[in-house]
Structure formats: C-alpha cells, structure tokens
Amino acid sequence: MYKNDFSMKIKSKIENDKFIRSTIAAFITPLNPTLEEIQDIKTAVSEAVTNCVVHAYNSENQYITISVQVLDKVLKISIKDEGVGIENVNKAREPFFTTKSEEERSGMGFTLMESFMDKIEVYSMINKGTEVVMTKKIAGD
C-alpha cells in the first residue's frame, strides 16, 4: 500500500496560494492523477486557502497549516487557520452565501470544493479558527 504525507506552515499571504496548490499537485504525481483530477484538486485547495487569507485573518502576519496524506489512492488535505472562525458553517456552505458581497465575492467557494472533491468536512470555532478537510480518491490514468 502506498503511503506518503507532508505538512507545512506558511504565511497567510495570497501570493502563497499558487505555491500551495502547485506543491500539492506535485506531491501527488506518484498517483498518476489525470489532468482533470489535478485541476479539481488545485481549485479546491485554492478556494480553501483564499478563505483563510480573505475571511479568517485580517493581517498577513498569520499562518496557514497545510497537511496532506496519501493512503493508497486516497488523498486527504487539511487546510487550517487560527482566525476568526465561521459563525454558521451550514450557512457558509450554501451556494452564493457570502459575508463580503460588497467585494464582489461569488459565495461559491465551498460549493466548488464540494463539487471537485469526494468529501469536505469543516470544523470551526469562533475566534479559534477553521479547519477544512478534503478527501478525494484518485482514479488516475
């Protein structure tokens, strides 16, 4: 059975979004994912990281913790912040829900994560932070 994992702690800066999604895409190369699967994962990761930067923290001087596990063909990604937390997770997961409509946010972040991954779990506590755990089975080529 193939097993691998890594974790990293990185500043909550939006320019790190691309680094994080590209790193995860590179890490799963041994699973021979299809281009479509790579795109799905990169988009879901980008949504979660953007949430940390835009919603969880008010400053760039905070950190996002990323943990990635591969067990056989199953990829599990945890993206965690120690920010403001989400008051109502069920509401936040509804399509088009946004707390920042004045900033032209689509409110589709969680919907896209759910569309592209097999399973999304969201754990959040006010003023403690939020963890998004995403799981996807990689069918591969």
- Residues at the contact surface with another protein, assessed by CB under 8 A: 14-15, 17-18, 36, 39-40, 42-43, 46-47, 50, 53-54, 103-109, 111-112, 115
5/140 with CB nearer another protein: 140
- Active-site choice (51, 60, 104, 131): 51
Least gap, CB of 114 to another protein (angstroms): 10
Least gap, CB of 67 to another protein (angstroms): 21
d(CA 130, CA 85): 5
Task: State the SS3 of the chain.
Answer: CCEEEEEEEEECCCCHHHHHHHHHHHHCHHHCCCHHHHHHHHHHHHHHHHHHHHHHCCCCCCEEEEEEEEECCEEEEEEEECCCCCCCHHHHCCCCCCCCHHHCCCCCHHHHHHHHCCEEEEEEECCCEEEEEEEEECCCC
Q: Is 16 a catalytic residue?
A: no
Q: Is 15 a catalytic residue?
A: no
Least gap, CB of 9 to another protein (angstroms): 20
103/141 with CB nearer another protein: 103
Q: Is 105 a catalytic residue?
A: yes
Catalytic residues: 47, 51, 105
